[in-house]
Structure 1
Amino acid sequence: MTSARGLVAAQSARFASLDPLLPPATEPPMDGHVITAALADGTRVAGVVSHQSFEPHSTTRLWSTAEVWEMLPLVGEAQGMDALLTRFRRHLDSQEVGDDTACVVHWPSRDSKAARAFLDHGLVPLSVLAVRLKTPAQHVSRTLTIRRATPHDLETVLELSLAELEYSSYVGSTIVRPEAASTKRRALTERLKNASPIWLAERDGIAVALAECAIVSSEPGTMAAARLPRGRWGYVNCVSVLPGARGNGIGQQLLAHAHQELHRMGTVGTYLYYNPPNPLSSVFWPRQGYRPLWTVWEVRPASALR
């Protein structure tokens, strides 16, 4: 464990040099499979591979494969990602790998040298975690009525959420499974019942857009602490504009309102996941002030890792 702690400390220092918003590297999970690799100069790097299976009807299976092998690299200051991914591939040779599977690595978006290794091994930047720090409110001309959604809006919220799910399935990690509607309905019913921060934008009394958000605390011991700076964050889970209403500034108006309200709740900033292959979100989100912090490198099925 001394070696692992040394790698974690060195990796934390490297993260800080790459991007000041990155939290320190985390200790590896105790229940994962440890892999190691030796570099040409004698330096050793390591990784911890965890394996997760997600039950049918779980919300996770709407944006993930049923089984995921995720590697947490511990390369310290070394450029050892290529060697580590080779060892990851060998580890998979001892596993039963089906079709509904993936290999995943979360890694700082600004590490361009590591990106070369990911691409060479068949992984693609399917998603990014992007952040936006709290800024002074900007005036956006409003032509819509924007209000909080209530349990009475369930069917409308569900329709807009499923529209985003379907579109994202063509350009990202989302999977439209047979149980998608029932799974979404169950989750949204609970969120609306708990008065979660969800907003609808209406034009002439008709809902044309949805912003489904949440409040997430990044504190020691929380899952968010591995990805975000400390503090209270607004999470933008889903923004959906009906196809016939896109291109009219509706999403910008709705998001400006959501940002303002989330900041009133004491958040230091907001974050979200978007898909770089998505021709809409890859343009829209940077224009709203978001920039990548982590890239989710993924290959499906897992057996396609090179």
Structure 2
Amino acid sequence: MEIEKALFDAHRARFAAIDRLLPDAAPPPVGGERVDAATAAGVQVTGVVQRQLHGPDDVTLLWSAADARQLFPFVGDTGTEGMDVLLRAWRTRMDAETPGEDSACVINWPSRDAEAIRAFLDHGLVPMSALAVRTGRRHDDPGAVGVTVRRARHEDFDTLLGLAVSTHDYIGQVATRYRPNAAELLAPALELALEKDRPLLWLAERDARIAAFAHGAWITSAPGSAEAELLPHGRWGYVNNVVTVPALRGSGLGRTLMAAVHEEFAAGGADGTYLYYNPTNPLSSVFWHRQGYRPLWTSWEVHPASALR
């Protein structure tokens, strides 16, 4: 879909002014339905709505509604008013649909745009996920004593899967939905990671027992790649999941584990590290900020989709 050059130029300039770490604003996505609106002064704003349906065995259900409608806004420099009128137009369009309970309206937007946040809140959207980044060299607090960190092995699979499921169940209370088949959805990624010679799966052990683990990956943001729409160009360490045994949370295990992870990514030439966390999670929202991460993009959502105001 094409949009007016003046609107897209203003959109790109707005992103550049909001946050120096944001990459160049991406053009409108291919496919989807266009939504148009205008401010009181007659300034045109627009957006594209794409719908994604996920089946019961789709791993995306671990972080997404089964029926997700995502809006890609282009409001230029119209601020709160432009986003407000566009969301009103989207709400009017939603009146003709009958989404089920496992549905959501979603907008992924730069975290530092306070003017847009005002509009999101007014329309019932809440911050459900944030892409956070950590750049530059820094000294990590080693955290706990009496803890050893090693790479995971095949024989650790059952323990790792149990920990991952327990964390999913906890997050189901404060962010994403609880999925009864979480173990089946989580297992393939763990199995695939363990097949590698040096899996990016780190374990923290205390008293010879697994107390925490971290799962990571190497990601390259290059021109034309999907990652380049979210991250500056470069080689990034991705922290996919960090889990601590529930009874041992708050004892420094996470800090010890991440000190080792950050050191290895830095030694491998990472330009930075990034991850996704839930702002509504009272544990991760504190932990990751203390680790030097800060939000770059925030996913604003309302469940079910019909609850958009």
Once residues 283 and 179 of structure 1 are traced to their aligned partners in structure 2, the CA distance between those partners, rounded to angstroms, is 28
Aligned residue identity for 1:221: G
Partner of 2:164: 161
Aligned residue identity for 1:250: L
Aligned residue identity for 1:200: L
Other structure's SS at 2:31 match: coil
Structure 1 gaps, min length 5: none
- 118-127 or 257-266, larger mean C-alpha shift: 257-266
Once residues 241 and 223 of structure 2 are traced to their aligned partners in structure 1, the CA distance between those partners, rounded to angstroms, is 26
Other structure's SS at 2:117 match: helix
Q: CA deviation at 1:12?
A: 1.4
Partner of 2:229: 226
Q: CA deviation at 1:74?
A: 0.5
Q: How does 1:200-279 map to 2 (within 5 A)?
A: 200-279=203-282
Does residue 65 of structure 2 align to residue 62 of structure 1? Answer: no
Partner of 2:125: 123
Task: Report if aligned partners of 1:15, 1:108 keep a CA contact under 8 Å in 2.
Answer: yes
Q: Deviations over 1:215-235 (max 9, x none)?
A: 111112222111111111111
Q: How does 1:88-167 map to 2 (within 5 A)?
A: 88-138=90-140, 140=142, 142-167=145-170
- 131-140 or 250-259, larger mean C-alpha shift: 131-140
Once residues 183 and 30 of structure 1 are traced to their aligned partners in structure 2, the CA distance between those partners, rounded to angstroms, is 29
Other structure's SS at 2:132 match: strand
Other structure's SS at 2:4 match: helix
Q: CA deviation at 1:207?
A: 0.1
Other structure's SS at 2:163 match: helix
Q: CA deviation at 1:137?
A: 4.0
Q: TM-score, normalised by structure 2?
A: 0.94
Aligned residue identity for 2:29: P
Partner of 1:38: 38
Partner of 2:294: 291
Once residues 68 and 267 of structure 2 are traced to their aligned partners in structure 1, the CA distance between those partners, rounded to angstroms, is 37
- Aligned residues: CA RMSD: 1.5
Partner of 2:27: 27
Other structure's SS at 1:7 match: helix
Once residues 2 and 273 of structure 2 are traced to their aligned partners in structure 1, the CA distance between those partners, rounded to angstroms, is 36
Task: Report if aligned partners of 1:149, 1:199 keep a CA contact under 8 Å in 2.
Answer: yes
- 245-254 or 177-186, larger mean C-alpha shift: 177-186
- 59-68 or 139-148, larger mean C-alpha shift: 139-148
Q: CA deviation at 1:3?
A: 4.1
Q: CA deviation at 1:98?
A: 1.0
Count of matched residue pairs: 305
Once residues 290 and 2 of structure 2 are traced to their aligned partners in structure 1, the CA distance between those partners, rounded to angstroms, is 44
Other structure's SS at 1:25 match: coil
Identity rate, percent: 49
Partner of 2:7: 7
Partner of 1:47: 47
Task: Report if aligned partners of 1:8, 1:26 keep a CA contact under 8 Å in 2.
Answer: no
Other structure's SS at 1:222 match: coil
Structure 2 gaps, min length 5: none
Aligned residue identity for 2:83: M
Once residues 2 and 34 of structure 2 are traced to their aligned partners in structure 1, the CA distance between those partners, rounded to angstroms, is 14
Q: CA deviation at 1:172?
A: 1.3
Once residues 164 and 224 of structure 2 are traced to their aligned partners in structure 1, the CA distance between those partners, rounded to angstroms, is 31
Other structure's SS at 1:95 match: coil
Counterpart pick for 2:200 among 197, 201, 207 = 197
Q: CA deviation at 1:7?
A: 2.2
Task: Report if aligned partners of 1:147, 1:201 keep a CA contact under 8 Å in 2.
Answer: yes
- The 1:21–1:96 alpha-carbon spacing in structure 2 relative to 1, beyond 3 Å, is same
Once residues 225 and 16 of structure 2 are traced to their aligned partners in structure 1, the CA distance between those partners, rounded to angstroms, is 20
